[in-house]
C-alpha cells in the first residue's frame, strides 16, 4: 500500500490520473473500516485532508457549491437556511465524531444506498462537480448513482464539490433506524417543496439498489397541487392526496430483506415518512405563506 | 512511511508506519499512549475519541498519514489541556495545546507514572467528576467519553440533559446504563459554572 | 522473571475517613481509568513481542479435507503457524464443564468462526496476511440449527462418542443436558383453574458486547513455563483448562489479571488464552493477541436463544393453580455453560410466585449455531421474559390489575420453590412491586417544547421520524428471581490472603485475591471490608493473580458474597492473630484484653465500649500478620435428574421494574422514557456501586428488549451481523432515566446480610419494556427483541 499526500487539488488530480486505482480518503468513515477489517487493501490511499479547497463552501445566488469534504457538522451549523434538507440529513449521520470529519463527498464516492445525504440531495436537486486532469464536468444527481455502491465517476475523476439548489421552500428529511442515534438507515426519505417552480422533489434511501426519487409520486403530487390550486390558496392538503402520495412513494421502493429490516417494512416506513414529511413541509409552506400574506 | 505530528503538545515522530495503520494504532502501539481504546475500530463506539486540531474524532477512522503536521489531544493529555484552557491558554479549544512551549512539551509525560494510584494527580474537572459520580466501572469507554464530554462543556457550559445525550450519543458504554455518566457531566458543568 | 510493560501494579488507597462498608467510597482504580493509564489486556506491551492471529472457519459445519500452511510459513515476518497437528500435549480440548472444545479444529468444524489455525508475526498486518494465505479445504455438512433438525431421526451428531456425565440422561446425543422438575400434580391442579393461558415465546441471541475485546499477552519464561496477562472472569478456571493443553504443570503457567474491559459472562470461557501461550512457547517470544470487534463476535459464547412454551392457570379470585413449561435453549456447537443454564432456567422457570403444582422441562441443544454460554442472569433471563408475559395475560383474563395479580401470588420468605427448596431469607417480591408502582410517573409529552418537538426525546430520536404523530405511551411491570452463586452442589469457594503490617508508621492492610475485577467494583468493596474489619485507613489491593488460591468466577452475582466473604473471613482471622499479639504484649496492663469484646477501629484496638487499649502500630511493631484462607457459602445439592428436587441454590435475588415507553405505532419505533427499578440488595456495601450495577443491568435488559440480537442465518448457521454497525447496543439517547429504589433486608446467611445484585436487574427489565410496548400497541409480541417490523405487522 502506498499513501499519497497531495498538498493541493491539482496534485490530487494528478495523483488520481497517475494511479486510477487509488482510493480517495477524507473523513475515513468508510475507507478506514474496510482497512481495519481487512475487507480492502487498496494499492494506493489518496489522502484529501490537505486539500483546503474541499473544505470550503460558497453560497451563490441559486445554489451552494459545497466542497466535497465540508464536514456534516459544518453543514448543520452553517447551511441550515440554504440547505435545510441536507442539514437535517447531516444531523442523522452516525455520531458527532463522524459528523466532525465526514462529508458529502464520501457519501457520493461510496454511493451506498444507505448514505444519509443522498435523499436530501435528490430532493433538493444537485449536480456533482467531478474533475480530472482532463477537465471538469457536472453530473446531475439523478444520473450519478449507477448501481449498488457504483457511481458515474470515471476512474481518474475526483469529486470536487456538490452544487445544491438553495431551498426555495420547506424541506424535510426523515430516517428510520432501530436506534435513536448512531444508526445506519433502514430507510430514509427526503422531501423538498419548490414553490418557485411549483414542484416537489423526493429522495429515498436504503429502499432500492441505489438512492432513488419517487417520480410517479412527485408527478401525482405536482398535478394534485396544481389542480387544487394549493400553491395559491394554501389549503391543507387533503388526506386522500397525502395518502396516495405516500402509497406512490412506497411503490417507488425496490427494497430487500436484510439484517436491518424487511423489504415490506421499508416500503411501509417510506410511505409513513412521505406522508409525515409532506405534512410538515406543507404546514411550513402555509405558515410562511400566511405570514407573508398577513404582512402584505 | 514516517509521520510527524503533535500529541498532547509534544512533537512526535513515528517511523515505519504501515500505510493502512490508523491514528489509533499509532498512538497505542507506537507512542505508548494506550489510553485511547480499541473497542470497535469502525467508528461505532467512540472509545478511541481524540481531538484532532481541536475537533473530537474517532482515531480509528483517521489514517495515520492524515495526521501529518496536525495536533492531537488524547485522554492522557486531557488534564493539561483543560488546565491550559482554564488559564486562558486556549479559550476556543481550537488551538490545541497551543500554549505549550516546546520545552514544556518535551518535558511532558503521562501523569501518575510514579504513583501506584494516580492519587495526587491533577485531573481535568470532567475526569474528577467521572470518579466522584461513579461513572467509571470497567472504564473502557471512559477515555473516549471524557474527551467528548470535555469538548461539549467547552462549547456548551450549561447543557440540558438532551444536549448531553446528543453530544455523547457516539460513545457506547456497556456497564453503567449512562445514568452515572449523566450525573458526572452535570456535576462537571455545575462545578465549572461555580468556578470550583 | 520478565515483567510485561503495563503489568498491573499494586493499588493503594488511603482514606482519612473511615471508608468502611456501607459508604460510597470511590474506586481505587478510578484515577488510573480516567487518565488512560489503567492497563487493559489489550494495552499490554513487551519488547520483541509478536502478534498472534487466528484463522477461523468460514462455514458452520464441514469436514476439513486439508490445511496447507506452507505459503503462510514462508512469509517474511512470520514466526509460527500452528494447527491441531502442532498441539504439544495429549490433551487437545478444553471446556468449562465438558471438555468438548478443540483448541484448534480437528477433522471438522462445528460452527461459523471456529479457530482452525494460528499465526505469530512481527506486525498484526503481517499476521493477518499470513492467516489469509492458509488454505483450508472444507467439505460442507448439513447444518443443525434447531430442535427439529437436532433430534431428527437421521440427524448428524454434533459430537460423536460423547462420554460426558450428561449423556446417560439425555434423550438424544444432540441434547447437552435435560432437567425436568415435577412438583405436585399440574394436570390435577389445572382442573381447579378458571382461566388458563398458554404462550409460545422466543428469546433472541444476545451478545455480552463488553467494550474491551478479548486480548492478552503471553510471555515465555526461563523455566519453560509461560506468564499470561489476561482479561478473564476466573483466573483459576482458565489455568485449569490451559495447563493440560500446553503440557505444563499448573505451577508453570503463571497468570496475572490484566485490566478487564467488561465481561458480563463473555469471559467465563477461554478465548485467545491457549492460542497466545502456544505461540509464545513455540516462538520463544512474547505474543500478544487482540481480537477486533468482528472477531470478538466469534470469540466468545453468547446468551442462549430460547423457545419457551408456557401454560399457567388461575382461579377466578386470581390465585395461580399450576404451571407447565418447556424451555428449549440453543447451546450451539459446544457445551460451555449450557448445563448450568438448563439448571437455572428450569429451577427458576416459575418465577417469584407461589405455584405448588408444576411440570417443568428445560433442555439445551447441541447445534451448529454459535456456542452459547454465560451471560448475566443466564437461564433466568429467558424464563422471566416468558413467565412475566404470561402473568400479564393471566391477570387480564382474571380481570385483575397486573401488579395486584402478581402481588397476590408473590412468593415470600418460607415459600417452597418448584425444586422443593424453601426460600429461607427475605423475599420481598410484593413489596418491590408496590414500591416500583408507587414511584411518580414521568410527565407526559416531555418532548414538547416552546420551539416544537424535541426529536431527541421522541421515538426515532435524531433521525427525525416523528414530531408526535403516532406516538402512544405504554406502561409495563415485571419482577424476577435469580439465584446467587454457583448452584447444584458446586463447591463454590473463594480464597483471600490478608496481610497487616506497619508501613511508614501506619497500619496497612493488603488484600490479595484472584478475584477478577471486571468493572463491578470488587476492589472497592474489598478495601471497605478490610477497613471495617481491621480498622485501618490504608488498604492495598494486590493485583489478582494465581499466586493466591482461587476466588471463583466473577459471575452469578457472587463476588461480593463469596470473595467478599473470604476477605471478611481472612480479615477476622488476621484480627484474631493481631489481638493475640496484643494480649501477649499488653494483656497484663488492662483487664479488658481478657474480658471485653475487642475491635480494631481507627488504627487502634478498642473495646466494644469504645475504650482504647492500644495503637495497632504498637501491637504490630515490625511484625506482619498474613493469613490466606478459603471461605465457602452453605453447600448446595444437585437437582434430582428425574424430579428436579433438591436444595440447589444458596440465595435468591429479586428486582422489579416499571417501564414507561413511547411507541411510534406507525413506524414501530420505541423510546423508553423511564425504566424504574426496585431491588432488595440485603445490604448495600457500596451504595453508589450498587446503583451503578442496577442501572447497568437494567440497560442490558433494555437492549435485548428492543434492539440487540445476533442474527444467524437458519440455512447456513452463519452469523449475519458481527459488528457494532448491525449489532446495536443502546446509546445514551436510547437509555432513559433509571430511578432506583434500594431495599435492604438482610439475609442472615450471608456476610453483612448482603445479597448478590448484579444479575437480577437484567431479568425484569426486558419483560417490563415488552409489557409497556404491548400496553401501548395492544400487540401480543411473543419474541424479543421486538423490531419495528414486528410492531407494524411487516415482519
Is B22 in contact with A36 (Cβ distance < 8 A)?
yes
Asked if residue C680 is part of any domain, the answer here is: no
Asked if residue C443 is part of any domain, the answer here is: no
Q: Which of B17, B14, A88 minimizes the C-alpha distance to C123? A: B17
Is B65 in contact with A98 (Cβ distance < 8 A)?
no
Q: Which of C291, C266, C239 minimizes the C-alpha distance to C370? A: C266
The mean pLDDT value of chain C amounts to 96
Buried b vs exposed e over C468-483: b needs ≥16 C-beta within 10 Å?
ebbbbbbbbbbbbbbb
Evaluate the omega torsion of the peptide bond into residue C785 and state whether it is cis, within 30 degrees of 0: yes
The predicted model gives C443-466 an average pLDDT of 94
Asked if residue B154 is part of any domain, the answer here is: yes
The predicted model gives C416-436 an average pLDDT of 98
The CATH number linked to C543 is 3.30.365.10
Interchain contact B170–A (C-beta under 8 A) = yes
CA dist., res. C523 & res. C540, Å (int): 10
The predicted model gives C441-458 an average pLDDT of 93
pLDDT of residue A292: 78
For residue B113, the distance in angstroms to the closest alpha carbon of chain A comes to 30
Taking the alpha carbons of C264, C265, C268, C274 in that order, is the dihedral positive or negative?
Answer: negative
Domains, in order of start, for chain A: 2-165 (3.30.465.10), 171-295 (3.30.390.50)
Nearest to B117 among C31, C212, C738 (CB): C31
- Contact between C643 and C677 under an 8 Å Cβ cutoff? The reply is no
CA dist., res. C32 & res. B118, Å (int): 6
Provide the 3-class DSSP secondary structure of residue C559: helix
Residue C350 pLDDT more than 90? Answer: yes
CA dist., res. B142 & res. A100, Å (int): 20
Asked if residue B26 is part of any domain, the answer here is: yes
Residue B93 pLDDT more than 60? Answer: no
CA dist., res. C348 & res. C363, Å (int): 14
Percent helix / strand / coil, chain B, rounded to 5: 40, 10, 50
The predicted model gives C638-666 an average pLDDT of 98
Asked if residue B7 is part of any domain, the answer here is: yes
The predicted model gives C115-131 an average pLDDT of 97
CB neighbours of residue A227 within 10 Å: 9
Strand order in the sheet with B3-7: B10-14, B3-7, B71-73, B49-52, B55-58
CA dist., res. C134 & res. C64, Å (int): 13
- The neighbouring-strand residues paired with C610 are none
Buried b vs exposed e over C89-107: b needs ≥16 C-beta within 10 Å?
eeebbbbbbbbbbbbbbee
Q: What is the DSSP string of C93-149?
A: EE-SSS--EESS-BSEE-STT-EEEEEEESSHHHHHHHHHH-EEEEEE-PPP-SHHH
Say what the pTM is. 0.96
CA dist., res. C231 & res. C273, Å (int): 9
Asked if residue C572 is part of any domain, the answer here is: yes
pLDDT of residue A42: 96
Interchain contact C34–B (C-beta under 8 A) = yes
Cell numbers describing residue A216:
410517479
Is B174 in contact with C262 (Cβ distance < 8 A)?
yes
CA dist., res. C266 & res. C375, Å (int): 6
- Give pLDDT tens digits for C767-785: 999 999 999 999 999 999 9
**Within chain A, which residues score under 50 in pLDDT?**
296
Q: Which of C536, C527, C687 minimizes the C-alpha distance to C16? A: C536
Percent helix / strand / coil, chain A, rounded to 5: 40, 25, 35
Interchain contact B111–C (C-beta under 8 A) = yes
Interchain contact A165–C (C-beta under 8 A) = no
Is A182 in contact with B1 (Cβ distance < 8 A)?
no
Would you place residue B89 in the very low, low, confident or very high pLDDT band (cuts 50, 70, 90)? Answer: low
Please tell me the number of Cα atoms within 13 Å of A142 on its side-chain side.
8
Chain C residues in contact with B131 (beta carbon < 8 A)? 26-27, 30-31, 34
Q: What is the DSSP string of B5-52?
A: EEETTEEEEE-S--TT-BHHHIIIIISS-TTS--S-SSSSS-TTEEEE
CA dist., res. C374 & res. C264, Å (int): 8
For residue A8, the distance in angstroms to the closest alpha carbon of chain C comes to 31
CA dist., res. C522 & res. C530, Å (int): 12
Asked if residue B186 is part of any domain, the answer here is: yes
Nearest to C794 among A179, A182, A264 (CB): A264
pLDDT of residue A86: 98
pLDDT of residue A289: 85
Pick from A24, A26, A32, A34 the residue to mutate for testing the B interface (most B CBs within 10 Å): A32
Chain B residues in contact with A95 (beta carbon < 8 A)? 43-44, 46, 58, 169-171
CA dist., res. C791 & res. C460, Å (int): 14
Residue B100 pLDDT more than 50? Answer: no
User: In total, how many domains does chain C have?
Assistant: 2
Would you place residue C6 in the very low, low, confident or very high pLDDT band (cuts 50, 70, 90)? Answer: low
Residue showing cell 426460600: C423
Q: Collect contacts of A278-283 with beta carbons under 8 A, ≥24 apart.
A: A278/A191, A278/A221, A278/A237, A278/A242, A278/A245, A278/A246, A279/A237, A279/A242, A279/C469, A280/A170, A280/A172, A280/C467, A281/A169, A281/A170, A281/A171, A281/A172, A281/A191, A281/A192, A281/A193, A282/A170, A282/A193, A282/A236, A282/A237
The predicted model gives C192-208 an average pLDDT of 98
pLDDT of residue C9: 55
pLDDT of residue B111: 36
pLDDT of residue A95: 97
CA dist., res. C600 & res. C602, Å (int): 7
The predicted model gives C465-472 an average pLDDT of 98
Asked if residue C664 is part of any domain, the answer here is: no
- Give pLDDT tens digits for C57-111: 999 999 999 999 999 999 999 999 999 999 999 999 999 999 999 999 999 999 9
The dihedrals phi and psi of A291, each to the nearest 5 degrees, come to -65, -45
- Contact between C106 and C84 under an 8 Å Cβ cutoff? The reply is yes
Provide the 3-class DSSP secondary structure of residue C545: strand
pLDDT of residue C574: 98
Nearest to B112 among C32, C212, C213 (CB): C32
- Give pLDDT tens digits for B72-81: 999 999 999 9
pLDDT of residue C451: 86
| Pairing of the two strands C287-290 and C50-56 | parallel
Interchain contact B17–C (C-beta under 8 A) = no
Cell numbers describing residue C114:
471456529
Is A174 in contact with C464 (Cβ distance < 8 A)?
yes
Chain B residues in contact with A98 (beta carbon < 8 A)? 43, 58, 61, 170
Element (H, E) at A126: strand A126-132
Range of the domain at C561: 11-17+493-632
Please tell me the number of Cα atoms within 13 Å of C120 on its side-chain side.
23
Interchain contact A186–C (C-beta under 8 A) = yes
pLDDT of residue B112: 33
Nearest to C731 among A37, A180, A269 (CB): A180
For residue C218, the distance in angstroms to the closest alpha carbon of chain B comes to 17
pLDDT of residue C17: 40
Is C293 in contact with B40 (Cβ distance < 8 A)?
yes
CA dist., res. C24 & res. C630, Å (int): 27
- Give pLDDT tens digits for B14-49: 999 999 999 999 999 999 999 999 999 999 999 999
* Separation in Å, CA C354 to CA C180, C396, C444: 19, 19, 36
Would you place residue C609 in the very low, low, confident or very high pLDDT band (cuts 50, 70, 90)? Answer: confident
pLDDT of residue B103: 46
Q: Which of C203, A94, A176, C377 minimizes the C-alpha distance to B172? A: A94
pLDDT of residue C4: 54
Is C721 in contact with A259 (Cβ distance < 8 A)?
yes
pLDDT of residue A295: 59
User: In total, how many domains does chain B have?
Assistant: 2
Taking the alpha carbons of C42, C43, C44, C48 in that order, is the dihedral positive or negative?
Answer: positive
Is C711 in contact with A259 (Cβ distance < 8 A)?
yes
Residue B102 pLDDT more than 70? Answer: no
Range of the domain at B176: 125-194
The dihedrals phi and psi of C508, each to the nearest 5 degrees, come to -130, 135
- Contact between B163 and B156 under an 8 Å Cβ cutoff? The reply is yes
Is A280 in contact with C666 (Cβ distance < 8 A)?
no
Residue C184 burial class via C-beta count within 10 angstroms: exposed 0-12, middle 13-18, buried 19 and up:
middle
Q: B with C: how many residue pairs have Cβ under 8 Å apart? A: 212
Asked if residue C583 is part of any domain, the answer here is: yes
Angle of helix B78-86 relative to helix B125-132, nearest 10 degrees, comes to 120
Interchain contact C213–B (C-beta under 8 A) = yes
Nearest to C11 among B33, B110, B117 (CB): B117
* Separation in Å, CA B146 to CA B91, C30, C692: 18, 13, 18
Interchain contact C300–B (C-beta under 8 A) = no
Interchain contact C508–B (C-beta under 8 A) = no
For residue C708, the distance in angstroms to the closest alpha carbon of chain B comes to 12
Residue B109 pLDDT more than 50? Answer: no
Angle of helix C338-347 relative to helix C380-398, nearest 10 degrees, comes to 20
Nearest to A101 among B18, B61, B65 (CB): B61
- Give pLDDT tens digits for C613-649: 999 999 999 999 999 999 999 999 999 999 999 999 9
pLDDT of residue B92: 41
* Separation in Å, CA C269 to CA A162, B169, C60, C723, C744: 52, 31, 20, 21, 33
Element (H, E) at C502: strand C493-503
Tell me what percent of the residues of chain C surpass a pLDDT of 90.
97
The predicted model gives C356-382 an average pLDDT of 98
CA dist., res. C500 & res. C540, Å (int): 10
- Give pLDDT tens digits for C214-261: 999 999 999 999 999 999 999 999 999 999 999 999 999 999 999 999
- Max Cα distance, chain C (Å): 85
Asked if residue C599 is part of any domain, the answer here is: yes
Cell numbers describing residue B73:
489531544
The CATH number linked to C79 is 3.90.1170.50
Would you place residue C333 in the very low, low, confident or very high pLDDT band (cuts 50, 70, 90)? Answer: very high
Please tell me the number of Cα atoms within 13 Å of C492 on its side-chain side.
27
Residue C597 burial class via C-beta count within 10 angstroms: exposed 0-12, middle 13-18, buried 19 and up:
exposed
Q: Which of C345, C426, C354 minimizes the C-alpha distance to C383? A: C345
Q: A with C: how many residue pairs have Cβ under 8 Å apart? A: 101
- Give pLDDT tens digits for C671-694: 999 999 999 999 999 999 999 999
Element (H, E) at C63: strand C62-68
- Contact between B21 and B13 under an 8 Å Cβ cutoff? The reply is no
For residue C728, the distance in angstroms to the closest alpha carbon of chain A comes to 7
Pick from B19, B139, B150, B160 the residue to mutate for testing the C interface (most C CBs within 10 Å): B139
pLDDT of residue C7: 55
Residue showing cell 405511551: C473
- Contact between A23 and A44 under an 8 Å Cβ cutoff? The reply is yes
pLDDT of residue A169: 97
Instruction: List all residues of chain B from 121 to 150 with a beta carbon under 8 Å from chain C.
Output: 121, 123, 127-128, 130-132, 134, 136-143, 146
- The neighbouring-strand residues paired with A4 are A46
Chain C residues in contact with B181 (beta carbon < 8 A)? 732
Instruction: List all residues of chain C from 730 to 759 with a beta carbon under 8 Å from chain B.
Output: 731-733, 735, 737-738
With a CB cutoff of 8 Å and minimum separation 6, the contacts of C165 are: none
Asked if residue C272 is part of any domain, the answer here is: yes
Amino acid at each position: 500500500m502506498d499513501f499519497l499526500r497531495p498538498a493541493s487539488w491539482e496534485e490530487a488530480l494528478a495523483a488520481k490520473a497517475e494511479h486510477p486505482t487509488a482510493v480517495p480518503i477524507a473523513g475515513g468513515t468508510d475507507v478506514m473500516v474496510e482497512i481495519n477489517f481487512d475487507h480492502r487493501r487498496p494499492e494506493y490511499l489518496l489522502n484529501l485532508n490537505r486539500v483546503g479547497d474541499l473544505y470550503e463552501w460558497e453560497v451563490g445566488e441559486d445554489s451552494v457549491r459545497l466542497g466535497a469534504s465540508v464536514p456534516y457538522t459544518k453543514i448543520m451549523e452553517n447551511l441550515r437556511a440554504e440547505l435545510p434538507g441536507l442539514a437535517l440529513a447531516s444531523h442523522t449521520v452516525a455520531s458527532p465524531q463522524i459528523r466532525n470529519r465526514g462529508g458529502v463527498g464520501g457519501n457520493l464516492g461510496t454511493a451506498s444506498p444507505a448514505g444519509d445525504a443522498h435523499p436530501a440531495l435528490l430532493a433538493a436537486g444537485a449536480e456533482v462537480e467531478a474533475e480530472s486532469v482532463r477537465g471538469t464536468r457536472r453530473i446531475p444527481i439523478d444520473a450519478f448513482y449507477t448501481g449498488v455502491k457504483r457511481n458515474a465517476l470515471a476512474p481518474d475523476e475526483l469529486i470536487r464539490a456538490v452544487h445544491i439548489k438553495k431551498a426555495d421552500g420547506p424541506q424535510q428529511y426523515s430516517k428510520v433506524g432501530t436506534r435513536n442515534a448512531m444508526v445506519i438507515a433502514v430507510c430514509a426519505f427526503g422531501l423538498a417543496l419548490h414553490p418557485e417552480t411549483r414542484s416537489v422533489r423526493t429522495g429515498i434511501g436504503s429502499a432500492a439498489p441505489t438512492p432513488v426519487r419517487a417520480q410517479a409520486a412527485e408527478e401525482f403530487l405536482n398535478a394534485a397541487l396544481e389542480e387544487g390550486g394549493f400553491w395559491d390558496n394554501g389549503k391543507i392538503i387533503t388526506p386522500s392526496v397525502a395518502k396516495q402520495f405516500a402509497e406512490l412513494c412506497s411503490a417507488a421502493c425496490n427494497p430487500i430483506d436484510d439484517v436491518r429490516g424487511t423489504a415490506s417494512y421499508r416500503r411501509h416506513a417510506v410511505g409513513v415518512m412521505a406522508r409525515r414529511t409532506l405534512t410538515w413541509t406543507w404546514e411550513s409552506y402555509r405558515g410562511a405563506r400566511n405570514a407573508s400574506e398577513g404582512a402584505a | 512511511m514516517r509521520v510527524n505530528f503533535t500529541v498532547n503538545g509534544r512533537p512526535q515522530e513515528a517511523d515505519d508506519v504501515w500505510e493502512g495503520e490508523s491514528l489509533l494504532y499509532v498512538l497505542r502501539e507506537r507512542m505508548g499512549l494506550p489510553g485511547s481504546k480499541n473497542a470497535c475500530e469502525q467508528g461505532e463506539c467512540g472509545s478511541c475519541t481524540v481531538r484532532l486540531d481541536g475537533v473530537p474524532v474517532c482515531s480509528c477512522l483517521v489514517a495515520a498519514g492524515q495526521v501529518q503536521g496536525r495536533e492531537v489531544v488524547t485522554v492522557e493529555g486531557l488534564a493539561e489541556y483543560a488546565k491550559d484552557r482554564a488559564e486562558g491558554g486556549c479559550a476556543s479549544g481550537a488551538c490545541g495545546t497551543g500554549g505549550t512551549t516546546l520545552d514544556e512539551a518535551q518535558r511532558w509525560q503521562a501523569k501518575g507514572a510514579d504513583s501506584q494510584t494516580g492519587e495526587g494527580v491533577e485531573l481535568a474537572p470532567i475526569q474528577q467528576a467521572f470518579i466522584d459520580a461513579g461513572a467509571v466501572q470497567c472504564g473502557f469507554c471512559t477515555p473516549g467519553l471524557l474527551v467528548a464530554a470535555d469538548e461539549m462543556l467547552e462549547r456548551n457550559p450549561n447543557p440540558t440533559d438532551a444536549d448531553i445525550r446528543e453530544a455523547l450519543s457516539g460513545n457506547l458504554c456497556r456497564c453503567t446504563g449512562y445514568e452515572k455518566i449523566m450525573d458526572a457531566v452535570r456535576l462537571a458543568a455545575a462545578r465549572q459554572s461555580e468556578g470550583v | 522473571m520478565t515483567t510485561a510493560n503495563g503489568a498491573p501494579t499494586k493499588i493503594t488507597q488511603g482514606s482519612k475517613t473511615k471508608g468502611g462498608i456501607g459508604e460510597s467510597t470511590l474506586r481505587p482504580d478510578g484515577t488510573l481509568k480516567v487518565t488512560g493509564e489503567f492497563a487493559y489486556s489489550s494495552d499490554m506491551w513487551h519488547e520483541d513481542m509478536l502478534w498472534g492471529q487466528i484463522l477461523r472457519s468460514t462455514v458452520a459445519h464441514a469436514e476439513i479435507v486439508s490445511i496447507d500452511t506452507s505459503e503462510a510459513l514462508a512469509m517474511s515476518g512470520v514466526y509460527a503457524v500452528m494447527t491441531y497437528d502442532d498441539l504439544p500435549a495429549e490433551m487437545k480440548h478444553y471446556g468449562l464443564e465438558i471438555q468438548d472444545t478443540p483448541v484448534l479444529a480437528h477433522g471438522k468444524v462445528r460452527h461459523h468462526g471456529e479457530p482452525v489455525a494460528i499465526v505469530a508475526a512481527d506486525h498484526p498486518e503481517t499476521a493477518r496476511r499470513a492467516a489469509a494465505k492458509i488454505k483450508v479445504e472444507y467439505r460442507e455438512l448439513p447444518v443443525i440449527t434447531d430442535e427439529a433438525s437436532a433430534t431428527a431421526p437421521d440427524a448428524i451428531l454434533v459430537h460423536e462418542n460423547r462420554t460426558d456425565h450428561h449423556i446417560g440422561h439425555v434423550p438424544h446425543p444432540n441434547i447437552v443436558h435435560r432437567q425436568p422438575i415435577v412438583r405436585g400434580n399440574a394436570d390435577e391442579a389445572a382442573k381447579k383453574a378458571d382461566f388458563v393461558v398458554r404462550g409460545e415465546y422466543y428469546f433472541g441471541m444476545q451478545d455480552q458486547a463488553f467494550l474491551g475485546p478479548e486480548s492478552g499477552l503471553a510471555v515465555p519464561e526461563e523455566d519453560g513455563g509461560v506468564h499470561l496477562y489476561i482479561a478473564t472472569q476466573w483466573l483459576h478456571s482458565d489455568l485449569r483448562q490451559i495447563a493440560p493443553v500446553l503440557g505444563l504443570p499448573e505451577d508453570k503457567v503463571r497468570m496475572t489479571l490484566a485490566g478487564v474491559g467488561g465481561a458480563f459472562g463473555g469471559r467465563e470461557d477461554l478465548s485467545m488464552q491457549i492460542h497466545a501461550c502456544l505461540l509464545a512457547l513455540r516462538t520463544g517470544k512474547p505474543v500478544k493477541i487482540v481480537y477486533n470487534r468482528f472477531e470478538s463476535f466469534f470469540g466468545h459464547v453468547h446468551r442462549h436463544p430460547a423457545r419457551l412454551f408456557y401454560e399457567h392457570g388461575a382461579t377466578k379470585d386470581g390465585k395461580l393453580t399450576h404451571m407447565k413449561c418447556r424451555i428449549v435453549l440453543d447451546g450451539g456447537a459446544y457445551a460451555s455453560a449450557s448445563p448450568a443454564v438448563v439448571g437455572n432456567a428450569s429451577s427458576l422457570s416459575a418465577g417469584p410466585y407461589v405455584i405448588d403444582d408444576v411440570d417443568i422441562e428445560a433442555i439445551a441443544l447441541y447445534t451448529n449455531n454459535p456456542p452459547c454460554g454465560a451471560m448475566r442472569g443466564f437461564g433466568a433471563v429467558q424464563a422471566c421474559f416468558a413467565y412475566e408475559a404470561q402473568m400479564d395475560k393471566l391477570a387480564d383474563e382474571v380481570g385483575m390489575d397486573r401488579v395486584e395479580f402478581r402481588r397476590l401470588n408473590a412468593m415470600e420468605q418460607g415459600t417452597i420453590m418448584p425444586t422443593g427448596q424453601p426460600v429461607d431469607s427475605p423475599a420481598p417480591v410484593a413489596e418491590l412491586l408496590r414500591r416500583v408502582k408507587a414511584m411518580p410517573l414521568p410527565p407526559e409529552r416531555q418532548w414538547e417544547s416552546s420551539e416544537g418537538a424535541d426529536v431527541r426525546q421522541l421515538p426515532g430520536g435524531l433521525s427525525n421520524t416523528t414530531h408526535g404523530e403516532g406516538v402512544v405511551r405504554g406502561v409495563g411491570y415485571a419482577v424476577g428471581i435469580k439465584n446467587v452463586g454457583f448452584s447444584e452442589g458446586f463447591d463454590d469457594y473463594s480464597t483471600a490472603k490478608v496481610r497487616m503490617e506497619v508501613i511508614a508508621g501506619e497500619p496497612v492492610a493488603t488484600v490479595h485475591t484472584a478475584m477478577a475485577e471486571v468493572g463491578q467494583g470488587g476492589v472497592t468493596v474489598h478495601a471497605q471490608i478490610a477497613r471495617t474489619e481491621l480498622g485501618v485507613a490504608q488498604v492495598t489491593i494486590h493485583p489478582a493473580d494465581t499466586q493466591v488460591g482461587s476466588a471463583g468466577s466473577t459471575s452469578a452475582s457472587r463476588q461480593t458474597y463469596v470473595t467478599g466473604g473470604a476477605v471478611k473471613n481472612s480479615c477476622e482471622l488476621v484480627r484474631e492473630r493481631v489481638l493475640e499479639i496484643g494480649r501477649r504484649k499488653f494483656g497484663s496492663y488492662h483487664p479488658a484484653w481478657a474480658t471485653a469484646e475487642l475491635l480494631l477501629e481507627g488504627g487502634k484496638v478498642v473495646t466494644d465500649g469504645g475504650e482504647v487499649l492500644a495503637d495497632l502500630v504498637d501491637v504490630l511493631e515490625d511484625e506482619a500478620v498474613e493469613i490466606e484462607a478459603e471461605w465457602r457459602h452453605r453447600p448446595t445439592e444437585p437437582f434430582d435428574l428425574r424430579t428436579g428436587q433438591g436444595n440447589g441454590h444458596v440465595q435468591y435475588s429479586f428486582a422489579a421494574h416499571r417501564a414507561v415507553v413511547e411507541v411510534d405505532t406507525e413506524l414501530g419505533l420505541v423510546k423508553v422514557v423511564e425504566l424504574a427499578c426496585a431491588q432488595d440488595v440485603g445490604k448495600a456495601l457500596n451504595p453508589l456501586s450498587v446503583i451503578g450495577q442496577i442501572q447497568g443491568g437494567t440497560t442490558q435488559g433494555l437492549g435485548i428488549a428492543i434492539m440487540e440480537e445476533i442474527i444467524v442465518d437458519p440455512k447456513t448457521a452463519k452469523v449475519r451481523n458481527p459488528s457494532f454497525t448491525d449489532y446495536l447496543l443502546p446509546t445514551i439517547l436510547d437509555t432513559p432515566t433509571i430511578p432506583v429504589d434500594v431495599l435492604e433486608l438482610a439475609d442472615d446467611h450471608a456476610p453483612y446480610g448482603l445479597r448478590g445484585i448484579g444479575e437480577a436487574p437484567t431479568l425484569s427489565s426486558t419483560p417490563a419494556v415488552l409489557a409497556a410496548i404491548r400496553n401501548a400497541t395492544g400487540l401480543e409480541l411473543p419474541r424479543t427483541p421486538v423490531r419495528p417490523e414486528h410492531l407494524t405487522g411487516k415482519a
